[in-house]
Amino acid sequence: MFIDIHAHAYLYPCPPQDGVTQFCTPEEVLKRYDELGIEKGILLPLIGPETYVPQSNQEILEICRLHPDRFIPFCNIDPRGIQNSEFTDFSVWIEWYKAHGCLGVGEFMPNMNFLDPRVENIFRQFEAAGLPVIFDDTTRVGRHYGLVDDPGLPQLEMTLRRFPKLILFGHGPAFWSEIGVLETVADRGGYPNYPVKAEGAVPKLFRRYTNLWGDLSAGSGANALMRDPAYAVKFLDEFQDRLCFGTDICYAAQHLPLAGFLIKLRDEGALSASAFEKIARGNIKRLLKL
């Protein structure tokens, strides 16, 4: 029924990701997939110093080799890698990962501004390679992870304009909180619990830039929809060709409400069966040619 565009798994034992919860093993992810009706998922390596337990791209490739019918690999490269320069040529690494089956990039989450020259340098190369990018974002440099943007997402907009052939998947609280106009700037990067009273930056950017896609995973994606189901139906219907289901599963007992919410909308007739199918699995199959 579903293809998950955003999952994490660790093949080797590691300490708790945040001192408490443990990252999933591949088997734990698959157990949740079977419970939720998810046929397969995209594994995103967490490589940077911002993450709790950095892992290698090769670990993801090995998990996918062990479970070829259930997992799809994305790769990840830090823009500060190889001399920390805006002039670094990453093409050797990008092409190697493509040749070994990686179909995209993510979760791209260095704690740097979207418009940092090093980020733009690697985005230019991802665009040339034809690899879509799933990014996370945040509101500040320091004490967090993810690309940094300002209120209204102007840096993301400039990035979408500068790289029109680069598919960027919006993800994370600083992105999805702006589905509606925020009551105060302090709500940026959080989980607003009030209805969408007026459209925010996200739907406006979706209309203007066809290279912007939506990763509906995690609490941020689910909250963006579930905070206002009536508006969610309008949003899902209008952008049904560029939205994708995801979980962002990190630990085995994680609450994952999005699948049930989408099924409920479909079964109640609020969301058409065709739109549901696109969001649940069809869009990512089309994009990645699965």
> pLDDT per residue over 112-122, tens digit each?
999 999 999 99
Residue 73: what pLDDT? 99
pLDDT value at 172 more than 80: yes
pLDDT value at 7 more than 80: yes
Confidence of residue 18 (pLDDT cuts 50, 70, 90): confident
CB-based contact 43:61 (threshold 8 Å): no
CATH number, residue 116: 3.20.20.140
**Which residue segment(s) compose the domain that 216 sits in?**
2-288
pLDDT value at 66 more than 80: yes
> pLDDT per residue over 240-253, tens digit each?
999 999 999 999 99
Place of tokens 């943007």: 149
Burial of 27 (0-12, 13-18, 19+ CB in 10 A): exposed
Residue 21: what pLDDT? 85
> Which residues face 40 on adjacent strands?
3
* CB neighbour list of residue 154: distance below 8 Å, 6 or more residues apart: none
Residue 287: what pLDDT? 99
Q: What is the pTM of this model?
A: 0.97
> pLDDT per residue over 143-161, tens digit each?
899 999 999 999 999 999 9
Residue 180: what pLDDT? 98
Peptide bond into 120 cis (omega under 30): no
* CB neighbour list of residue 143: distance below 8 Å, 6 or more residues apart: none
DSSP state of 141: S
> pLDDT per residue over 225-244, tens digit each?
999 999 999 999 999 999 99
Residue 20: what pLDDT? 84
The backbone torsions φ and ψ at residue 86, rounded to the nearest 5 degrees and listed phi first, read -75, 0
Token digits for 74?
Answer: 């994305």
Q: Write out the E strands in the chain.
A: 2-7, 38-43, 71-73, 105-108, 133-135, 137-138, 147-148, 168-170, 212-215, 243-244
Residue 52: what pLDDT? 73
DSSP state of 178: G
> Quick one: what percent of the chain has pLDDT higher than 90?
93
What three-state secondary structure class fits 58? helix
pLDDT value at 124 more than 90: yes
Looking at the structure of the chain, the number of domains it has is 1
